[in-house]
A and B are shown apart, each in its own frame.
Chain A
Amino acid sequence: MRKDRRAFLKVSAVAAGTLAAGAAPAADYRRVDNFLQTYGVLVDTVLCVGCRKCEQACQVANGPCDRDPELLLDRSVFDTPRRPDECAYTVVNRFADPDSPNRSYWIKSQCMHCNEPACVSACIVGALTKDHRGPVVYDTWECIGCRYCFLACPFDIPAYEYANPLDPQVRKCTFCHDRFSDRGFRPACVKVCPGGALTFGARGELIDLAFIRIKQSPDRYIDRIYGQHEVGGTSWMYLTGTDFANTSLPEVIDRPISDLTETIQHGVFKSFVPPIALYGLLGLIMHSLKDTKREAGKNHDKQV
């Protein structure tokens, strides 16, 4: 996998280089403060007890589908892995600890509210936007329902209301952004979590907190924060006690997912120079070949 990726980069570099010398990586200006001031949540999977209260709270606060909140605490669902969907913006899954088979981990998944979200870069109309405070927000009115954001999201988060013929929406965790400016705001799931597994705060402070926990009990945590660098950093970050490969956290790249496509786009359309140059070149060819060909064309017509 790693080798694969290096070779990919190698070819990318060649391709991008030939495209347009000097087309800067697209999103540079957004990287200025490394997203330390934006809000995020630290998910400490070592402290998670798998009670599913966060799922229930999310359903009550945002739930788009009518589901009995009581059923949402049933732990038998852990037998089959689930993904967040149009009726559940967040789901908790159980994983066996490969080192001690009797122990389990639970991992809550939801939209990661990436720093440089692939879905936002991909959306054809800008229906998805990155709020400067952290959340990645969806605007139903603009969306055309192309579902390109689904392909782009490296965590496979967006879900669709396929059953709705007239007014289907893209559904994903909202970070409860509509209540963001409330006093003492915390997302519904964070507020309810009994084990202290979820912490809401500025992303930079969360990273510090995570490293403090790792330092305090190095035997319980692995020495990495998932989401610190993954896909250019995410608002939601994870601490685990086992290698990421044993969890549902997918193996991704450390650069923003949309780097390559944005470099290509901006290279081709840099002030529209390449298309206009091509237009001019073709026009020149068309014009200059015309005269030499007119004679030939006349002869040809005579023959026919």
Chain B
Amino acid sequence: MISKFETVPIRTKFFTKGTSILAVMAGLGILGYVYRLFFGLEAATNLSNAYPWGIWKTINVVAGVALAAAGFTTAAVADIFHRERYHVLVRPAILTAMLGYTFAVIGLIADLGRYYNIWHPIIPSMWQGDSVLFEVGMCVMMYLCVLYIEFLPTIVEHYRDGVRLPGLLSCLNSLVESLLEVCERYLIRFISLFIIAGVVLSCLHQSSLGALMLVAPTKMHPIWNTPMSPVLFLFSAIAVGFPILIFELILISRTFHRPPPIPLLSNVARYVPVLLGVYLAVRIGDLTLREVWPNVMEGTFASFAFIFEIVVGVILPIILLSRDRLRQSASWLLVGSVLVILGVIVNRVNVFLVAYRPLYAVSPYFPSIIEITVTVGLISIMILIYRFFIVRLPVLPRASQLQSASSEEPKPLATQLKGE
């Protein structure tokens, strides 16, 4: 990810009113996390033998990983398919993915009963090739390494002119410097290999996340109990990649009072209805083939959850984002992308919690206060770190470059897809 554009830190104050609110939520989240580590899952969560997986797995891990898909979709479009104009998006996308995956793992640690054994899947004697979860775990771990490598250029670039660590740490300056030099010389030279590996690994585990619940065919609601689930998970992850970036860039432009880069955003937004359309078509085909439309109409909570997921999270954004006029407005772009993001989160919650029907459920699962606090807290920390990075490190291009990044007339989509 050597940026082809000049990327610069935003250089502004880190603390504002917004960040202090986030900091408070982050603090509460950390307290909840520590409470769980000391007092155990029973004290901190509403998990039970009937509902062994709660929102930490569903939202922090599964949905978090889906929303971090921007990293691989953008890398594929900009670096593998060489659509240079989207290069400005690569660094924010990699940063998003890196934080998303890192915090997915942190969330997972809270959820694991024996979290200190989290490294066990790496040990060859414990490899378990039959397990979908094993594959997800291995791919996520390897992809996390790839993401750190992909982010390296940003750090190397920043410290190229010399490392100046504060205080006592300054004795490490030359060591860190030579380390960075080694990175630059060896890792970054071969970065294309890592970029491709990142895309392959992502395709594997994004789809495998959809295969996780296929191991419980007798306990799943028919709507979501489909062998197409891996394909659906992969497609929806690809579709949510750009919306996440649109969402981030618009929020960044609002918080830092920069003009939103409308031409660029509306340009990428054109792909969203197409990707969502493919997803919707597969989804409908699958429901029809399995003859489960009666279940969609059955009027239960699950069926309403499904209708919400599809109408609000898929159909509505397709309608909104396929309008040229709406794509020229930052607010509508924001609305459209938020809906897509919401749709993916609701889908993951539906598959893992709503569709799951244990045999001996006494009462349905609802997350405890501490579970919610930790989930919100981890997301807040993630946003704070994101802010820290874009303020301090060269992640984003200059505002003017963002503006002009895609200023040439967008060609009709058909020619775009065929390649310029």
Contact = CB atoms under 8 A, between A and B. Distances in A.
Answer yes or no: are A and B bound together in one complex: yes
Chain A: interface size category: 35 or more
Interface stretch (A54-62, A149-157, A203-211, A235-243): A149-157
Contacts of B414: none
Interface SS of chain B: helix, strand, loop or mixed? helix
B135 A265 contact: yes
B211 interface: yes
Contacts of A156: 49-50, 219, 358-360
Query: Which of B39, B131, B132 is the most central at the interface, judged by chain A CB atoms within 10 Å of its CB?
Result: B131
B218 A253 contact: yes
A11 B222 CA distance: 13
A282 B199 contact: yes
Interface string A8-34: 101110111000000000100000000
Given A261-B132, A279-B200, A285-B81, A152 B228 contact: no
Nearest to A155: B359
A85 B49 CA distance: 8
A25 to B, nearest CB: 12
B84 A250 contact: no
B77 to A, nearest CB: 11
Interface stretch (B19-27, B109-117, B169-177): B109-117
Interface stretch (A100-108, A123-131, A186-194, A216-224): A123-131
Nearest to B117: A144
A7 B286 CA distance: 10
B227 A168 contact: no
B130 A262 contact: yes
A126 B290 contact: no
Contacts, number: 229
Given A168-B114, A250-B359, A150 B408 contact: no
Interface residues of B, number: 80
B126 A126 contact: yes
A162 B204 contact: no
Given A156-B359, A168-B113, A151 B130 contact: no
B292 interface: yes
Contacts of B212: 148, 151
A58 B201 CA distance: 46
B331 interface: no
- Most central of B37, B133, B192, B286 by chain A CB within 10 Å: B133
Contacts of A300: 84-85
A158 B47 CA distance: 14
A225 interface: no
Nearest to B231: A15
B260 interface: no
Contacts of A114: none
A72 interface: no
B365 interface: no
Contacts of B419: 289
Interface of A: 3-4, 7-8, 10-12, 14-16, 26, 81, 83, 85-86, 118, 120-126, 142-148, 150-152, 154-156, 158-168, 250-253, 257-258, 260-262, 264-266, 268-269, 275, 278-279, 282-283, 285-286, 289-290, 293, 296-297, 300-301, 303-304
30 contacts: A7-B289, A7-B291, A15-B227, A118-B215, A122-B133, A123-B128, A124-B137, A144-B118, A144-B120, A145-B112, A145-B114, A146-B113, A147-B52, A148-B133, A151-B53, A151-B219, A154-B219, A161-B113, A252-B218, A257-B217, A264-B230, A278-B203, A283-B192, A286-B80, A289-B82, A289-B419, A293-B82, A293-B84, A297-B4, A304-B401
Given A151-B53, A151-B356, A261-B215, 16 more contacts: A8-B226, A124-B120, A125-B134, A142-B126, A143-B114, A144-B112, A144-B114, A156-B359, A160-B47, A160-B52, A163-B42, A261-B211, A265-B131, A275-B200, A282-B200, A293-B84
Pick the 7 closest A-B CB pairs, nearest first: A145-B113, A165-B40, A147-B52, A162-B42, A150-B52, A293-B82, A145-B114
